Structures are given as structure tokens and as C-alpha cells.
Amino acid sequence: MRTIAHWIDGKPYEGTPIGRFAVENPGTGEVEAELLQASDADLDHAVEVARRAQKEWAKVSLAKRTEIMFRMRQLVLDHQDEMAKLIVAEHGKNYSDAVGEIQRGRETLDFATAINVALKGEFSSGISTGVDIHTLRQPVGVVAGICPFNFPAMVPMWMHPIAIATGNAFVLKPASATPSAALLTAELYKEAGLPDGVFNVVSGNRTMVSKVLEHPGIDAISFVGSTPVAHIVQNTGVTHGKRVQALGGANNHAIVMPDSDLDFAAQHISAAAFGAAGERCMALPVVVAVGGCGPDLARRVKAHAEKIKVGYGMDEGVEMGPVIDAKSKEFITGLIDDAESRGAEIVLDGRPLVIPGHEKGHFLGPTIVDNVPLESSLYTEEVFGPVLAIVHADTYEEAIKQVNSSPFGNGAAIFTNDGGVARRFELDVEAGMVGINVPIPTPVAYYSFGGWKESLLGDTHIHGPEGVRFYTRAKAVTSRWPSEKTYAATMSFQREE
Ligand code: NAD
């Protein structure tokens, strides 16, 4: 059995593990590796190494830092195939989707190659006679990144390129089910010339995450995962004096107006609901069909969804893989069963799907459920599976009320050909990322990513300009040189002229 170790101080590190996590291939149901679970001493070692490395790294010139980021960007491109195969084997998503997440993650490396521009400060000359002011943005220190299973390359890449390029050291805690892309990333940073200790990977269980949240050597925490854990991270991290951004779960809605091009909408809704087996925080699990367009829309979405080729992620032509594990499959199936027992109509049933040759894989086919009762857990919970729930509203006003009643506010979309309605939606909707005829409105990396309400705790969104702000502290420097005409010291707080 292959053992997956940590990565500390520029090399693999085994330390004194307190246990081993069985890393399964969701497409085969076979355990393919064992992941070491760090002890307190292992975490302490990683943080100590990171603190030491950060002090030197922060002194490295922006020219050198951006050069390393350029090299890293190229290395990620060169190793895209290898990284994508690791993702398929541990997450299950199909190969082209794995490539897609690496490409989107690489956008943040692109952004980090221009960190010199993002870090430009402000300067005002002569704010008083002979007195100038300028600002600096300096690194916060050691940043920990705690990541979910569903984007093993992209979500960490939302964090570490900006954290590192701004002069911090980084300790990445990958999800235990999908750790290998993080370890390949560590090797590539080393090859790119990043000094040892600036990027580290430490795997562990909940207890280790609790230690991360309390660790005096960690200054800031970027978390992406489910909302209940986001609350733990936010509350504990802030109590221990850390800067925290905690991105949580989602239950994204799209409104479909009766004036929209229904086939265009159906095609895009099918891809957004079932891509990556619905295991995206920006997936589209709910459609609110307005003004009676629901039955026609359901028929059209079904026509597209039926054609999706589900199977093992590396097999030719496969467009959708399994869900992550048996527990997840059972959870999703239970939600569909429950909605059905409450009177919902199963338009397309993915529950019986079996993939020949992969009978032990955790496969579920695309499932469409119409007239989903609003009190059913299929509607209220984050399903995180290949299920589309359809609900109905008579008017736009009723539909937007429905969308905004969700405790989550990650993404939201509208399909319409009416610019006036689109504009109202953009202003009315309580979500951080909004799509007009775009069902997965994930911002490019030079904008920032984040939701509202239970989908994001903390103040800043992730990557882009808000990422730079999160990973740096502001400093304002006021200076004068006594050779100039200077005022005598005064006890008054009045500004000198
Ligand atoms: P999760 O919350 O179970 O785990 C996230 C991380 O937290 C993992 O590294 C895990 O080891 C750790 N963790 C889990 N339980 C913990 C606990 N009780 N205490 C401390 N640490 C704990 O999430 P997941 O199942 O890996 O990922 C799916 C979730 O992530 C979904 O809710 C999805 O919407 C969300 N997600 C959100 C975004 C976003 O941008 N908002 C992006 C991707 C995924």
C-alpha cells in the first residue's frame, strides 16, 4: 500500500503519525493509498519551519518572487496531465473536468506573476511642510489553508499563490480524501525555486485542524468547506487572534423566466447541475421556473441530461464521474427518496445506475426532481450530488423572494432575454456571485470569489484584489527630514501646515 506523507521544509516528512486515512478511488471503490495523519508535534514542526522560512522570504525582492511565480505557472502547465490523473483517481471527476480545475487554479498563479503591480503603495508628497506619507502592504506571516475535497488543485491555488507572492509562508491542510495534488504542487514549487519551508503540506484529522485554529504560530487562516465547519473555523480562529476567511457551503438557485430561450437555458442548466456530479460549490441544484415554463423546461433539461455519459473518469468520452464515497451516495439517495415520499415527481432517476466493470464505484446518474416540496431536505440541505430540484413561481417577484429565502448566498443566476429584469435581479439578489444567462458565474482570478450569508464568514472574498488585502497588513509611514524647514515640536494635536 502506497503511503502519502506530509511535505515540510522542502521534502516529504513522515514524523510521528497518530493514524492513517484510507484514500479510496471513488470510481473503483478500492483503497489505493494511506495518508499519514499528523500529530501535534508534526504540526508544531511545520509551523516552526514556516515561521523561520517566512522571515527570509519576506525580504526576497518582488522581482525574484514574481520570477518564481512565472516558473511555477509553467511547471503547473507542464505537469497538468499528471496532476489531472491524480485528481481523477482520488476525486473521481472526469479527466477533462480535472484539467479544467487546474486551468482555473492556474489563473491565480497568472495573477500572482503580477503581484508587484498589486502591491504598489500610495504616496503623498508634502502633506505638511516637509512631511510626506506613503503606504506599504506587508505579509501577515504564516497562513494556513484548510481545503475541501472537491477541488484538490484549484481551491488551494485560490490561496497559496497570492499568500506566497505577498511574502507569507503557507501551511496547506488538504482534504484527506484528495491529498495528492497538493503534494505535487509542493514538488513543483521546489522545482520553481521557492525556498524550502515557504510552502508546506500537513494532513490530519479534525483534532489537528482544531490545533491549527489555536496555534500561536499561525497568523491567518483561509478555509473553504462546508458551512458548519466554516463556523467552527471562524469562531475558533478569531478567538485565537487570527485573521480568518471562511468560505462555506451553497445551494445555488437559477430563475428561469418564461421569455428566455428555453433550450439554451436547459442545456446550460444540465451542465451546471450535473458537471462534476454536482460536487461544486457553484453547481446549480435548484431551478425556479417562472410563469408556467416549468414542465417544458423539465422536458428539455431531461433530454440533455439523459445524454450525459457517466463512468470512470479516465474512460473515453466520460462526462461525469462518481460521487466521493459510499456515505455521500447514501445521503444523496436518501434526500431523493424523502422528496419522492412527500409527493415530488422524479423526472429522471439516477439512483439505479450501475457502471459495468465499476460496480463498486459510487455512481449516481443525473436526477431531476420536479415539484420539490420547499420543506423537504432535498430543497433545504446542500445536496452536493447530481440532482436538480425544480420549484415553481408565478412571477419574478415570487421567484426572487424564493431565491433570497435561502440561508446560503454563494451564486445565483437568471435566464431571461429581458434586460430590465436582468438588471433588477442583479440588484435584488442576495448572493456574492451573479450570472445573467451564466449558470456558474465563477469570477476570473483577477476578480475576487465569494458568497454572502452562510456561504462566506469573515470579511474578504478569496483571490484577486481581496486576496491581496487578506494576506497583507497595511502600514502608513509619515516621514520628514530635519534638513527641511521644520516646525518646532508642539503639545497640540493640530496638524502642522
Ligand atoms: P468539509 O467542511 O467537510 O471539510 C473541509 C475541510 O475541513 C477538510 O480539510 C476537513 O478535513 C476539515 N474538517 C472537516 N470537519 C471538520 C471539523 N469538524 N473540524 C475541523 N475541521 C474539519 O467540506 P468537504 O466535504 O471537504 O467539501 C464540500 C463542502 O465544501 C461543500 O459544503 C461545498 O459547498 C464547500 N465548498 C465551498 C466552496 C466555496 O467557495 N464556498 C468551494 C468548494 C467547496
- Can you give the pLDDT at residue 494? 83
- Can you give the pLDDT at residue 70? 98
In which residue are the cell numbers 456530479 written?
277
- Can you give the pLDDT at residue 491? 85
User: Residues near 283 by Cβ (< 8 Å), separated by ≥ 6?
Assistant: 250, 252, 272, 273, 275, 276, 384, 440
Q: Write the single-letter amino acid at 151.
A: F
- The residues with which 222 forms a beta bridge, in sequence order, are 145, 245
- Can you give the pLDDT at residue 298? 98
pLDDT in tens, 428-452: 999 999 999 999 999 999 999 999 9
The residue annotated as part of the active site, out of 281, 289, 387, 389, is 281
Ligand 1 atom closest to the CA of 250, numbered from 1: 34
pLDDT in tens, 56-92: 999 999 999 999 999 999 999 999 999 999 999 999 9
Alpha helices in 113-151 (DSSP H): 115-118
Q: Which one-letter DSSP state was computed for residue 487?
A: P
Ligand 1 atom closest to the CA of 462, numbered from 1: 40
C-alpha cell at 416: 431571461
DSSP readout, 414-459? EE-S-HHHHHHHHHH---SEEEES-SS-PPPTTS-B--EETTEESS
Cβ of 264: how many Cβ atoms within 10 Å?
A: 13
Calpha distance 236→34 (Å, rounded): 29
Ligand 1 atom closest to the CA of 175, numbered from 1: 9
The class of domain 251-434 in CATH terms is alpha beta
Q: What separation in Å is there between the alpha carbon of 193 and the centre of ligand 1?
A: 31
Calpha distance 84→95 (Å, rounded): 6
Four-CA torsion 462, 463, 466, 471, nearest 10 degrees: 90
Angle 127-133-134 (CA atoms, 0-180°, nearest 5)?
Answer: 145
Buried b vs exposed e over 63-102: b needs ≥16 C-beta within 10 Å? eebbebbbbbbebbeebbeebbbbbbbbbbbbbebbbbbb
Give the residue, out of 21, 37, 87, 150, with the most ligand 1 atoms within 8 A of its beta carbon, to mutate for a pocket test: 150
C-alpha cell at 189: 514549487
- Can you give the pLDDT at residue 331? 98
- Can you give the pLDDT at residue 496? 74
- Can you give the pLDDT at residue 484? 58
Q: State yes or no: is 147 an active-site residue.
A: no
User: Residues with Cβ within 6 A of ligand 1?
Assistant: 146-151, 155, 173, 175-176, 206, 209, 224-226, 229, 232, 247-250, 281, 382, 384, 410, 451, 455
* Residues of the chain falling short of pLDDT 50: none
pTM of the model: 0.97
Instruction: Give me the CATH topology for the region 1-247+454-477.
Output: Aldehyde Dehydrogenase; Chain A, domain 1 (3.40.605)
Distances (CA, A) of 471 to 220, 248, 262, 334, 452: 8, 19, 43, 41, 20
Ligand 1 atom closest to the CA of 151, numbered from 1: 43
What residue segments make up the domains of the chain, in order of their start? Answer: 1-247+454-477, 251-434
Give the residue, out of 6, 214, 229, with the most ligand 1 atoms within 8 A of its beta carbon, to mutate for a pocket test: 229
- Can you give the pLDDT at residue 495? 80
